[in-house]
Amino acid sequence: MEIHPTLPPLTDAQKRYAFSHCFKHEALVRKKNSDEYICLECGHSFKASPSAGPLILSTVGDKVICPHCGMELDVKLSPRRSASKKICETFQLITTTWEFQIVRNFYVFQTTMPGTGADYWIGEVSQIYQMPGRSTIVVARPRVGLCSCYSDIYRYDMPMSIKYNTDFYEFGATVVYPRQKVLPIITRNGYCKELKSYFPVETFRRLIGNPKYETLAKAKRFDIWFNLESYKISLYWEQIKMLIRHDYRPDDVTMWYDTLDITKQLNLDIKSPKYVLPGDLKGMHDMLYKRLQKKRRAQEAARKREEMAKKKEYERLYKKHNAKLLTIVIVSGDITIKPLQNYKEFVAEGEAMHHCVENYWKRKESLILSARSGNTRIATIELDRSDFHVKQCRGVCNEVPKRYQEICNILESHKNDFVKATKSRRKAV
Ligand SMILES: [Zn+2]
C-alpha cells in the first residue's frame, strides 16, 4: 500500500517553525552577573553593556537579544561547558489526503557548541492515517533495536512501510504545527483550538468514532475531555449530560467523579441533583466520604464478629472432636507430653517454636501435641489420628529435636492410651 509518497516534503516555513519552537535558544555566561554572552545560535560572543555600543538591543531579566543573529536567548550560567550537545524533540504536522486524516511525526535535532553556530536537522519517522469506519494505519521508517528510550533509532535512509503494532507511534509532540488541515467530519464534530495541542491521533479517533466526545467538544466541556479517568465518561454519561444541561462546572473533575463513586458505594440515588450537582462539591464529597468510612468500619466490625463466631464454633467442634484425647497427659521422667488444647495454644506453640503449627489447627486427621521438659518446650508432635503413630516431631525452627528418639519411644509406648480414648469417646457418643 503506497500512500506516503503523495505527501509533499516539509516547506522551509514549516522547518523554520519546528527549529525555532521545539527548542530553547540559549546564551551562555561564564560567571554570575557577567555581561559577556556566548550566543549558541550563531556562535558569536558579545557584551550586553552600554559600553558595547549601539548594537546591543536589550537585556530583560534572564533574556538577552543577540546583536549578531537577532535571536532572543535564555541566559544560562555555564562556567565550563565546551562540548557539543545534541537534543531531540518531536514535531507534528496535521494534514489530509483523499479521505484520510493524517498525522505526520518528525524528529527534530538541535546540536549546539560554544563558539560555533547551532545545527538543526529534521526527519520524518512515521505517518498515521485515520478514516471514519476504518482502523488506523501506521507507516513508519524501520527502527534500529526495540528500545523506545532512544530518540534517534530510526533508519532515515530507508523507506517507510506499514506497521502492525501501532501503539508506539501515537504520541503528543513537543510542537504541533498550528496550520492544520482536518477532514470536514472532524471539524463538524467539534474540533477546535482547545483540542489542537492534545494527542492528535487520539483526538481524531474520539471525534470520528465516539459521539460522547463529539457532545463534549461541542459543549466545550474540556474539563471532562482532558480528565485522565476517561473510562468514567461512559460510566457516568447520564451524570455528565446533567452537568452539560445545567452548565455545572466542578472545580475538580476528579473529586466530582470520586463523589459519584462514593454515592454509588453508599447505594444513594446516583441520578439525584443533590449528589450530581452539589452546591458545595468539596463539602458534599467530604460528608459522603465520612459516611463511607463509617459504613466501612461497620462492615469491618461485622466481619470481625463473624470471624470470631466462626472461631468459637470451630473451637467447640475441636473440643468435641478430640473429647477425651485432650485430657491425656503423658509424663515420662522430666518430659511431659500433652495435646494442644485450643487455638490460643496453637498460636503460642508456633510463636515459641518458630514454626507454622498454627496451620494444623483445622487438620482433622491429626492430633498435635507439645512436649516439654519442665517449662521448656522441646518438641511439637503430629500424630496420625488413624492409628496415632508419629507423623512429625519438630523442634525449634522445624529442626529435629535433640531428644527425638526418646519422645517417639514415649509416644509409641502410650499409643494405646490414645486408641482407648478414641474408642471410649465413640462409645460415649
Ligand atoms: Zn547570535
The pLDDT tens digits for 353-392 are 999 998 888 888 899 999 999 889 999 999 998 889 999 9
- Between the CA of 25 and the centroid of ligand 1 the distance, in Å, is 10
Residue where a domain stops, chosen among 319, 354, 384: 319
List, as own/partner pairs, every contact residues 249-256 make where C-beta atoms lie below 8 angstroms and the sequence separation is at least 24, other chains included: 249/223, 250/223, 250/281, 251/281, 252/281, 252/282, 253/223, 253/224, 253/227, 254/227, 254/229, 255/281, 255/282, 255/285, 256/281
Start-to-end CA span in the chain (Å): 85
pLDDT in tens, 34-75: 788 999 999 999 887 544 443 444 444 578 888 889 888 888
Q: Is 334 in the same domain as 297?
A: no
Residue 203 maps to a domain? no
- Between the CA of 27 and the centroid of ligand 1 the distance, in Å, is 8
Residue where a domain stops, chosen among 258, 286, 319: 319
Cα separation, 403 vs 114, whole angstroms: 82
- Between the CA of 21 and the centroid of ligand 1 the distance, in Å, is 16
Residue 220 maps to a domain? no
Residue 184 maps to a domain? no
Q: Is 105 in the same domain as 29?
A: yes
- Between the CA of 38 and the centroid of ligand 1 the distance, in Å, is 8
For residues 388 and 367, the answer to whether their CB atoms sit within 8 Å is: yes
Q: Is 308 in the same domain as 348?
A: no
- Between the CA of 174 and the centroid of ligand 1 the distance, in Å, is 24
pLDDT confidence band for 290 (50 / 70 / 90): very high
**Proportion of the chain above pLDDT 90, given as a percent:** 61
Greater model confidence, 364 or 282: 282
Q: Is 41 in the same domain as 124?
A: yes
Q: Is 8 in the same domain as 106?
A: yes
Q: Is 345 in the same domain as 247?
A: no
Mean pLDDT of 169-187: 90
> What is the total count of domains within the chain?
3
- Between the CA of 68 and the centroid of ligand 1 the distance, in Å, is 5
Q: Is 72 in the same domain as 159?
A: yes
Q: How confident is the model at residue 424, as a pLDDT? A: 64
Find the CATH number of the domain harbouring 335: 3.40.630.30
- Between the CA of 124 and the centroid of ligand 1 the distance, in Å, is 28
Residue 93 maps to a domain? yes
Q: What are phi and psi of 155, to 5 degrees?
A: -95, 95
Residue 88 maps to a domain? yes
Q: Provide the mean pLDDT of the chain.
A: 88
- Between the CA of 92 and the centroid of ligand 1 the distance, in Å, is 27
- Between the CA of 151 and the centroid of ligand 1 the distance, in Å, is 27
Residue 404 maps to a domain? yes
Q: Which domain holds residue 24?
A: 4-175
pLDDT confidence band for 144 (50 / 70 / 90): confident
Q: Identify the weakest region by mean pLDDT among 127-131, 172-176, 263-267.
A: 172-176
- Between the CA of 355 and the centroid of ligand 1 the distance, in Å, is 75
- Between the CA of 45 and the centroid of ligand 1 the distance, in Å, is 8
pLDDT in tens, 188-204: 999 998 998 778 999 99
Greater model confidence, 25 or 98: 25
pTM: 0.69
Q: Is 78 in the same domain as 155?
A: yes
- Between the CA of 88 and the centroid of ligand 1 the distance, in Å, is 21
pLDDT confidence band for 128 (50 / 70 / 90): very high
- Between the CA of 125 and the centroid of ligand 1 the distance, in Å, is 30
For the residues of 51-76, what is the DSSP string, one character each?
A: GG-TT---EETTEEE-TTT--EEEEE
Q: Is 170 in the same domain as 255?
A: no
Q: How confident is the model at residue 63, as a pLDDT? A: 81
pLDDT in tens, 301-347: 999 999 999 988 988 988 888 878 899 999 999 999 999 999 899 99
Q: How confident is the model at residue 361, as a pLDDT? A: 87
pLDDT confidence band for 81 (50 / 70 / 90): confident
For residues 65 and 97, the answer to whether their CB atoms sit within 8 Å is: no
Question: Residues with Cβ within 5 Å of ion ligand 1?
Answer: 39, 41-42, 66, 68-69
Residue 55 maps to a domain? yes
Residue 113 maps to a domain? yes
Q: Is 337 in the same domain as 410?
A: yes
Q: How confident is the model at residue 370, as a pLDDT? A: 95
Statement: residue 348 has pLDDT above 90: yes
Query: CA angle at residue 215 from 214 to 221, to 5 degrees?
Result: 105
Residue where a domain stops, chosen among 130, 158, 175: 175
Statement: residue 145 has pLDDT above 80: no
pLDDT in tens, 2-11: 455 578 999 9
Query: CA angle at residue 232 from 230 to 235, to 5 degrees?
Result: 140
Q: Is 299 in the same domain as 369?
A: no
3-state secondary structure of 114: coil
Q: Is 30 in the same domain as 58?
A: yes
